Chains A and B, each alone.
Chain A
Amino acid sequence: MMKKPNNMMLQTLARLIILVVLSFSIYLMLAGHNSPGGGFIGGLMTASAILILYLSFGLNPIKKVIRFDYIKIIGIGLLLPGITGLVSIFFGFSYLKQFFGYFHIPLIGEVELTTALPFDLGVYFVVLASALTIILTIAEDDK
């Protein structure tokens, strides 16, 4: 795709846009428990932000900047929900039982922490990495 990425308008705008999109995606991911959002949506949003980068700057330059192996991220994402589920077993509850509590953290104030957060983070990673892997694999395919 994008044989000669020299679209200046797109590149300049992309630098601005992805800042907004990325921060919004992280907000969506974290806010998911109480307002619209969550791991799935956040993951897709981050994926589309990174896609904008690939679209505007081309595959190889971005690959030098983002050096994650997405398949490994999928693995980590799959492990996270599985392991958070296991935690409750050690305390004698059923698998995947959720706990939550309110904690006071200096500077930030009262924060709700849940075991659903690492669970959702796993979903986030899997969705993000899956979308990117599929698209990049197809993009890199030169038949």
Chain B
Amino acid sequence: MTLLHWAVLSPFIAAILIPFLYKYLKRIHTGWFVLILPLALFIYFLSFIPETSSGNVVLNNLDWVPSLGINFNVYIDGLSLLFALLITGIGTLVVLYSIYYLSKQKEKLNNFYVYLLMFMGAMLGVVLSDNLIVIYVFWEVTSIASSLLISYWYTREKSIYGAQKSMYITVFGGLSMLAGFSLLYVIAGTFSIRELIANADLIMASSLFIPAMILVLLGAFTKSAQFPFHIWLPDAMEAPTPVSAYLHSATMVKAGIYLVARLTGVFGGAPEWFWIITIAGLITLIWGSISAVRQKDLKGILAYSTVSQLGLIMSLLGAGSAAFYFQDGDSPLYMTAILAAVFHLINHATFKGSLFMAAGIIDHETGTRDIRKLGGLMTIMPVTATISLIGLASMAGLPPFNGFLSKELFLTGMLSVTEYGIFNLEAIGFIIPIIAFIASVFTFLYCILMFYKTFMGKFDISKLKVKHVHEAPIGMLISPIILAVLVVLFGLFPNLLAYSIIEPAMAAIAPGILSPGEFFDVHITHWHGFSAELFMTLGIIVLGVLLFITFRKWENTAFYRGEQDLFNYAYDYGYDGLIKGSQWLTRIQMTGRLRDYFIYMCTFIMLIMGYTMYRYNLPLIQNLDLSPIPVYTWFVILVFLGSILTIPFLNNRIAIIITTGVSGFLVALLFVLFRAPDLALTQLLIETVSVVLFMLVFYHLPKLKKVKTPPKMKTIKLIISIGFGLMITLGSLSAFSMGQEANYESISEYYTENSKEKAGGYNIVNVILVDFRGLDTMLEVLVVSLAVLTVVSLIRLRFKGGEDV
């Protein structure tokens, strides 16, 4: 465990302390304690900049499950450092903002900050780990934390809906991603990303390349809300605004982008990778920007705009992956795309973060986020208006803000795609800049609409729920002001970031392209002369303004009136269908009769065992070198068989219980005969306790009565029972004779030899339980406890009728 490992785990450790701080220091807002951690982490990660900007990487190893190739190796290069800084930097600002946003009297702050810290730790784990399985684990934790935060106001129906939706979609993607990772392991034999990149040729040549790629991309696309999985993000806006600013615009939704960027070294250069990512990104970009225009909720607009901006970054990463095809880092042709992706990632975090916080302020002060009710806030909230103006101008791509610079780079990247001369691009490539252009027009449009509807026009207090509207307290304004200042700063001096943050991140996305000691050329300027990009920007502004002026004309069209995304219908129908389908399936098979369940289980086991036996030419019964069976053992077995055969013919319940008990005690006796005292003792005790149990439930059991079964059914049951017994017998005999034939060394030999030496105990059974297989025992004990909880809740919490369900 190095300091870096502790840094990743520190949010989780802090999360444990939060409930206590909340409970015992109620007078102080819990957020103040939380604030320290991301700030300290941010400063700590800043100290790595000199290291990464000189092209070095930091790698600290920690074995976790080395036998499976799963190790908690923390890896810092330009890309992971960029994300770590985003997570902790934006995290600090968001925590500060949340202190003023969430009231300490009314809200359950302990829940909020525990989830938030859980998310922060998991997110750091995702971006700082070199091991795919570790990434997967942290990845799913971010999904869970995100759902918990969306449903933070859990009494609201829409919160629950949004939380479930995000959970289903992202966990579906996460599981696909796990399958993709497993395929990569099958191909290359490692979970380490660095080793995978080193073996990229091997992976590319494998027949599993495409399946692995698609599965991994499903994970990345669902997380980063790419079309058509974007539908969860607008519903995630039910979360408190600090959460939307943090998880759903600046960090978590960029995890998918991180993954794509990180794995470009593995998959990049393949035409499929290029096409899938570029096309998905562009469709997301245009779909998101058009949908954003239709939204009436401030956060809804921002959500769809986030979707579209994520698509933009994604398409740039797709376009940039061509660098691997050419293996040439000097050409600005495709490196521009990667540069634009990294730069826009930073810019988006700044301007979108400030916009979300501004939207939160408006919601907080006016009680609504509906742009039809808002208006004229410019004079009432001048600071918020300024912040929003800067953020929106940057998002629309206006100079001199940072959004302008990355938007120009984006257009350059998209234009240069047509000049690649690969993957049939000359035939259909021209469509790529056109889509980019149209999407940008809509982006411009919703930016003006959002500003105009909120801050211009007439202020009408009668539409609002509150009596007085005033500017937010200074504490709430600090964070968005800092972000807005960054927007301006990065806009005016983009080269502040060029070689400290952007270039190392580019080098990390495209590993192996540069020879050691070389650096990418990063030069960002406002003025490129009268280039195609400039005219495109002018065109975007002109068209956007034109659409805005004619707003009255299309205000009442169906396009603008509706705001529901088409894919939501698909989700809702699919979800309903799934529930109905499972209910139908459950109704069919759940009869409530134990005997039916036994039929299912036995038949299933028989089929599986039968198939296996058939497949491996079994049963095989030969060379049975059996020990002689003494007379008394025969006797015990005969009585045992007799007691079992009697049970079906008994009509009295007490007699049945006793006879079952007899067979149980006889099994214990058999254990004694085979000299297994531990098993015998356990069996005896269990029989005793179950007799008591039987006596207890005896009162509650319905009267034992003959059930009239049709003879056909009887025969089937008889066949199943006999077949099942036969299958088990044949199976164990075959296993025995196979063991004899292959001359396996029994696993018990190991335990017999090492029990005393390694674990200090003579009782092998116990030593296996508490030492050799300790983890199993621990989890078994957990299962026992869960069973108890089930029994208790089934009985004590049973509906008595009249409850409100």
- A40 to chain B: which residues have CB within 8 Å? 682, 769
Identity of the chain B residue whose Cβ is nearest the Cβ of A124 in the assembled complex:
B781
Check: A41 CB closer than 8 A to any chain B CB.
Answer: yes
A98, B770: Cβ atoms closer than 8 Å? yes
A137, B795: Cβ atoms closer than 8 Å? yes
Check: B570 CB closer than 8 A to any chain A CB.
Answer: no
B689, A36: Cβ atoms closer than 8 Å? no
Check: B431 CB closer than 8 A to any chain A CB.
Answer: no
Cβ proximity bits A37-48 to B, threshold 8 Å, 1 near / 0 not = 111110011011
B788, A134: Cβ atoms closer than 8 Å? yes
Asked whether A130 and B784 contact (CB < 8 A) given A81-B774, A135-B692, the answer is: yes
A1, B696: Cβ atoms closer than 8 Å? yes
B700, A51: Cβ atoms closer than 8 Å? no
Check: B36 CB closer than 8 A to any chain A CB.
Answer: no
Within 8 A of A (CB), among B672-698: 677-678, 681-682, 685-686, 688-689, 692-693, 695-697
- B796 to chain A: which residues have CB within 8 Å? 137, 141
Measured in the bound complex, the distance between the Cα atoms of B702 and A143 in whole Å is 13
B795, A123: Cβ atoms closer than 8 Å? no
User: Which of A34, A41, A129, A138 contacts B696 (CB under 8 A)?
Assistant: A138
- A131 to chain B: which residues have CB within 8 Å? 689
- A135 to chain B: which residues have CB within 8 Å? 689, 692-693, 696
User: Which of A35, A45, A95, A130 contacts B763 (CB under 8 A)?
Assistant: A35
Interface of B is mostly: helix
Within 8 A of A (CB), among B697-712: 697, 699-700
Asked whether A134 and B770 contact (CB < 8 A) given A114-B760, A123-B777, the answer is: no
Interface centre among B677, B781, B791 (most CB of A within 10 A): B781
- A134 to chain B: which residues have CB within 8 Å? 693, 787-788, 791
Measured in the bound complex, the distance between the Cα atoms of B774 and A78 in whole Å is 13
- B774 to chain A: which residues have CB within 8 Å? 81, 85, 96, 98, 116, 119
Asked whether A133 and B781 contact (CB < 8 A) given A1-B695, A40-B769, the answer is: no
Asked whether A78 and B785 contact (CB < 8 A) given A34-B762, A41-B681, A98-B759, the answer is: yes
Check: A126 CB closer than 8 A to any chain B CB.
Answer: yes
B763, A38: Cβ atoms closer than 8 Å? yes
Check: A110 CB closer than 8 A to any chain B CB.
Answer: no
Nearest Cβ on chain A to B697's Cβ, whole angstroms: 6
A100, B695: Cβ atoms closer than 8 Å? no
Nearest Cβ on chain A to B288's Cβ, whole angstroms: 45
Identity of the chain A residue whose Cβ is nearest the Cβ of B700 in the assembled complex:
A143
Measured in the bound complex, the distance between the Cα atoms of B361 and A18 in whole Å is 69
Asked whether A138 and B791 contact (CB < 8 A) given A40-B682, A48-B685, A98-B771, the answer is: yes
User: Which of A1, A47, A123 contacts B781 (CB under 8 A)?
Assistant: A123
Nearest Cβ on chain A to B691's Cβ, whole angstroms: 10
Check: B766 CB closer than 8 A to any chain A CB.
Answer: yes
Interface centre among A1, A85, A98 (most CB of B within 10 A): A98
Measured in the bound complex, the distance between the Cα atoms of B73 and A67 in whole Å is 49
Nearest Cβ on chain B to A58's Cβ, whole angstroms: 13
**What's the interface size class on B, roughly?**
35 or more
A139, B696: Cβ atoms closer than 8 Å? yes
A51, B692: Cβ atoms closer than 8 Å? yes
Asked whether A36 and B781 contact (CB < 8 A) given A85-B774, A98-B774, A138-B795, the answer is: no
Measured in the bound complex, the distance between the Cα atoms of B796 and A133 in whole Å is 12
Count the A-B residue pairs with Cβ separation under 8 angstroms: how many? 142
Interface centre among B677, B762, B774, B782 (most CB of A within 10 A): B774
User: Which of A38, A55, A129 contacts B678 (CB under 8 A)?
Assistant: A38
Within 8 A of A (CB), among B775-796: 775, 777-778, 781-782, 784-785, 787-788, 791-792, 795-796
- A137 to chain B: which residues have CB within 8 Å? 791-792, 795-796
Cβ proximity bits B745-781 to A, threshold 8 Å, 1 near / 0 not = 0000000000000011111011101110011011001
B787, A130: Cβ atoms closer than 8 Å? yes
Cβ proximity bits B536-556 to A, threshold 8 Å, 1 near / 0 not = 000000000000000000000
A126, B785: Cβ atoms closer than 8 Å? yes
- B696 to chain A: which residues have CB within 8 Å? 1, 135, 138-139
A96, B775: Cβ atoms closer than 8 Å? yes
- A100 to chain B: which residues have CB within 8 Å? 759-761
Check: A20 CB closer than 8 A to any chain B CB.
Answer: no
Nearest Cβ on chain A to B129's Cβ, whole angstroms: 19
User: Which of A33, A48, A138 contacts B697 (CB under 8 A)?
Assistant: A138
Nearest Cβ on chain A to B664's Cβ, whole angstroms: 14
- B697 to chain A: which residues have CB within 8 Å? 138
A44, B777: Cβ atoms closer than 8 Å? no
A120, B766: Cβ atoms closer than 8 Å? yes
Measured in the bound complex, the distance between the Cα atoms of B369 and A124 in whole Å is 57
A35, B762: Cβ atoms closer than 8 Å? yes
Measured in the bound complex, the distance between the Cα atoms of B694 and A51 in whole Å is 13
Check: A74 CB closer than 8 A to any chain B CB.
Answer: yes
User: Which of B678, B688, B759 contacts A36 (CB under 8 A)?
Assistant: B678
Cβ proximity bits A68-88 to B, threshold 8 Å, 1 near / 0 not = 000100100110011001000
- B782 to chain A: which residues have CB within 8 Å? 78
Identity of the chain B residue whose Cβ is nearest the Cβ of A34 in the assembled complex:
B762
B688, A116: Cβ atoms closer than 8 Å? no
- A126 to chain B: which residues have CB within 8 Å? 781, 784-785
Check: A127 CB closer than 8 A to any chain B CB.
Answer: yes
Nearest Cβ on chain B to A78's Cβ, whole angstroms: 6
Asked whether A82 and B769 contact (CB < 8 A) given A48-B685, A126-B785, the answer is: no
Measured in the bound complex, the distance between the Cα atoms of B780 and A123 in whole Å is 9
- A32 to chain B: which residues have CB within 8 Å? 763, 766, 770
Measured in the bound complex, the distance between the Cα atoms of B235 and A83 in whole Å is 40
Nearest Cβ on chain A to B381's Cβ, whole angstroms: 51
Measured in the bound complex, the distance between the Cα atoms of B781 and A123 in whole Å is 6
A44, B770: Cβ atoms closer than 8 Å? no
Interface centre among B677, B760, B795 (most CB of A within 10 A): B760
Measured in the bound complex, the distance between the Cα atoms of B791 and A129 in whole Å is 13
B785, A41: Cβ atoms closer than 8 Å? no
Nearest Cβ on chain B to A73's Cβ, whole angstroms: 10
Nearest Cβ on chain B to A89's Cβ, whole angstroms: 9
B678, A37: Cβ atoms closer than 8 Å? yes
Identity of the chain A residue whose Cβ is nearest the Cβ of B769 in the assembled complex:
A38
Asked whether A55 and B692 contact (CB < 8 A) given A34-B761, A38-B765, the answer is: yes
User: Which of A48, A82, A129 contacts B689 (CB under 8 A)?
Assistant: A48
Nearest Cβ on chain B to A80's Cβ, whole angstroms: 10
Nearest Cβ on chain A to B504's Cβ, whole angstroms: 33
Asked whether A116 and B681 contact (CB < 8 A) given A37-B763, A38-B766, A131-B689, the answer is: no
- A48 to chain B: which residues have CB within 8 Å? 685, 688-689, 692
B678, A41: Cβ atoms closer than 8 Å? yes
Measured in the bound complex, the distance between the Cα atoms of B792 and A47 in whole Å is 17
Nearest Cβ on chain A to B339's Cβ, whole angstroms: 44
Measured in the bound complex, the distance between the Cα atoms of B792 and A98 in whole Å is 34
A44, B686: Cβ atoms closer than 8 Å? yes
B781, A122: Cβ atoms closer than 8 Å? yes
Measured in the bound complex, the distance between the Cα atoms of B771 and A122 in whole Å is 13
- B792 to chain A: which residues have CB within 8 Å? 71, 133, 137
Measured in the bound complex, the distance between the Cα atoms of B688 and A122 in whole Å is 22
B681, A120: Cβ atoms closer than 8 Å? no
- B686 to chain A: which residues have CB within 8 Å? 44
Nearest Cβ on chain A to B189's Cβ, whole angstroms: 23
Identity of the chain B residue whose Cβ is nearest the Cβ of A70 in the assembled complex:
B788
Pairs of residues from A and B, 9 with the lowest C-beta to C-beta distance, nearest first: A100-B760, A33-B761, A36-B677, A44-B685, A116-B770, A38-B766, A34-B762, A96-B774, A98-B771
Q: List 11 A-B contacts (CB under 8 A).
A: A33-B766, A34-B762, A37-B681, A39-B770, A41-B681, A47-B689, A81-B777, A82-B778, A114-B761, A127-B781, A134-B693
With A41-B678, A95-B775, A137-B792 given, name 6 new contacts (CB 8 A). Answer: A34-B763, A55-B692, A74-B785, A78-B782, A138-B697, A143-B700
Residues in A lying within 8 Å of B, measured CB to CB: 1, 28, 32-41, 44-45, 47-48, 51, 55, 71, 74, 77-78, 81-82, 85, 95-96, 98, 100, 112, 114, 116, 119-120, 122-123, 126-127, 129-131, 133-135, 137-139, 141, 143
